[in-house]
A and B are shown apart, each in its own frame.
Chain A
């Protein structure tokens, strides 16, 4: 795989990839890093708000739970949210973009007007409203994020599909009598896959940030979930004395989003050399 070998020459992208592999590993097997998983959920009030040290690398929270264990456990919910939201948004957005890009007419016009409307305000604002309507909890946060993220895919696929549609090979396929479904699924889709893949990688990082805002504002995950955004909003009450409580979950967000962004940049450099960083 030439393209894979090229990606491996890009040091920042490899760092991003390593971060993601590491995060996925501890999301699936948190016991690799945390000996006592029970301590993450069962507090010990005698140990509340202990500073970082040998026993508790990141200190403890207001209920005496080990913050390091909770940050590690939070990785799982962050990654699940990112993957589920982006996949759901792709499942909705990509077919709509293909249809709108390949056909002309009322349906395609309607699809694009709807994406205009959803994109007319920043994603977060609609997401908070939907999450609040659906009720607290991680599931409703995921639905809210997916329901507001799909237009980004529709836009991307639409403009790419428009570009591909006017090329000669599509005309040839139409002349040969290939069905519309066949053209869209087997000929246009592979040609728009690269930008979709990049958008998905960057989108996962973006989704983690937005999900954290939802958790922070109180419309996402609910206690006792080890959600990072929730932890920051709880830890904020104990500033400035107990600084570690709000600091470490934020660093975890930074690291994971950094992984997605670095890999996304690397992929973009492969596909679109115009923005290459080190020219």
Chain B
């Protein structure tokens, strides 16, 4: 098992290096010249040239890339050409916000998705089953930024139940940084007020992101549970007089969860994608909104670093999914 983790981690390195090279070349081709952007409209060619040298972008692309990789390995992501702040520090500050949002979304999607899917399978062809099916098909067809706006319109603007934007009300002091997640930090430091507020703030964006996930997981859970309930061992358990509850929870569900768990991993990528737009709608200070800003400002260093971080997180999640697989299914574990 340990060997498997190490090999997978090593295999991730060339992929990330390739990703970095591709983004690097792509951004190098970009028309937006960061030096010209910094220098402003009235700069002379000499001034622009001097800034180019300061930024090190007067050398050939391969040399620049080599220098960049060496810096990244040492943990230095460079300085943003736009804000003059260290990109690494910006990301370290913003990544926890996105991770918190994504994990809460995954939690909502997993709990509701598995719950609805199992119930739909148990009450197959009932009204509830059809309802789950219709909602899950629609859930996959909605643009996440649109549903975000609709939820804002309903819950924040019309009903005034939940806050419109941000992670905390303006003026409220953030809890001391332990994990970077406001929900965990406020609990650990005993700030109940901050916990309640951050929970209220995360609810709408997390629900928005999880909608597509609830739909996917519910569907896969339903079809897996239906299949499991038709196996011979379930029939045997029924014949032996096991109560329905015992058949479903320990036996059928565990055997059915392998496919949905794979889906949860695949969803992670979808969630990060929708986080980009949803963070923009809710003013969530994560790396999604940071990336959008950086792309619009032709902020070379920031785009590179965020792409790399997202690629790394994405790769790690995929490894975690395979491990979860092994925990649910001993046969998979033996093959690792």
Report the bound CA distance from A122 to B18 in whole Å: 15
Q: At the interface, is chain B mostly helix, strand, loop or mixed?
A: helix
Q: Which B residue sits closest to A210, measured CB to CB?
A: B273
Q: Is the CB of A124 within 8 A of B273?
A: yes
Choose among A133, A243, A275 the residue that contacts B153 (Cβ–Cβ < 8 A).
A243
Choose among B26, B137, B146, B276 the residue that contacts A130 (Cβ–Cβ < 8 A).
B26
Q: Is the CB of A212 within 8 A of B23?
A: no
44-91 of chain B: CB within 8 A of chain A:
none
Q: Is the CB of A124 within 8 A of B138?
A: no
Q: Is the CB of A239 within 8 A of B149?
A: yes
Q: Is the CB of A117 within 8 A of B19?
A: yes
B314 within 8 A of A: yes
List, in ascending order, chain B residues with CB within 8 A of A129's CB.
Answer: 23, 26-27, 295, 303, 307
Q: Is the CB of A122 within 8 A of B314?
A: yes
List, in ascending order, chain A residues with CB within 8 A of B27's CB.
Answer: 129, 133
Q: Give the number of chain A interface residues (Cβ < 8 Å).
A: 52
Q: Mark A115-133, 1 if CB is under 8 A from B, else 0.
A: 0111011111110111011
Q: Is the CB of A239 within 8 A of B152?
A: yes
Q: Mark B7-24, 1 if CB is under 8 A from A, else 0.
A: 000000011101100110
Q: Which A residue sits closest to B295, measured CB to CB?
A: A132
B239 within 8 A of A: no
Q: Mark A254-279, 1 if CB is under 8 A from B, else 0.
A: 11011001100100000000111111
B150 within 8 A of A: yes
With A213-B143, A239-B149 in contact, do A261 and B137 touch (Cβ < 8 Å)? yes
B125 within 8 A of A: yes
A146 within 8 A of B: no
With A239-B152, A240-B158, A250-B143 in contact, do A125 and B291 touch (Cβ < 8 Å)? yes
Closest chain B CB from A133 CB (angstroms): 4
Q: Is the CB of A122 within 8 A of B22?
A: no
Choose among A116, A122, A132 the residue that contacts B273 (Cβ–Cβ < 8 A).
A122
Q: Which A residue sits closest to B157, measured CB to CB?
A: A240
Report the bound CA distance from A213 to B279 in whole Å: 12
A205 within 8 A of B: yes
B140 within 8 A of A: yes
217-261 of chain A: CB within 8 A of chain B:
217-219, 229, 232, 236, 239-240, 243, 246-247, 249-250, 253-255, 257-258, 261
Choose among A114, A124, A276 the residue that contacts B18 (Cβ–Cβ < 8 A).
A114
Closest chain B CB from A262 CB (angstroms): 7
List, in ascending order, chain A residues with CB within 8 A of B223's CB.
Answer: 274-277, 279
A12 within 8 A of B: yes
Report the bound CA distance from A254 to B314 in whole Å: 28
Report the bound CA distance from A277 to B134 in whole Å: 12
List, in ascending order, chain A residues with CB within 8 A of B292's CB.
Answer: 128, 217
B270 within 8 A of A: yes
Closest chain A CB from B61 CB (angstroms): 15
Report the bound CA distance from A124 to B143 in whole Å: 13
List, in ascending order, chain B residues with CB within 8 A of A212's CB.
Answer: 143, 145-146
5 contacts between A and B (CB under 8 A): A113-B18, A120-B16, A120-B314, A253-B142, A262-B137
Cβ-closest 7 pairs across A and B: A250-B146, A240-B157, A117-B18, A257-B141, A122-B273, A124-B273, A258-B141
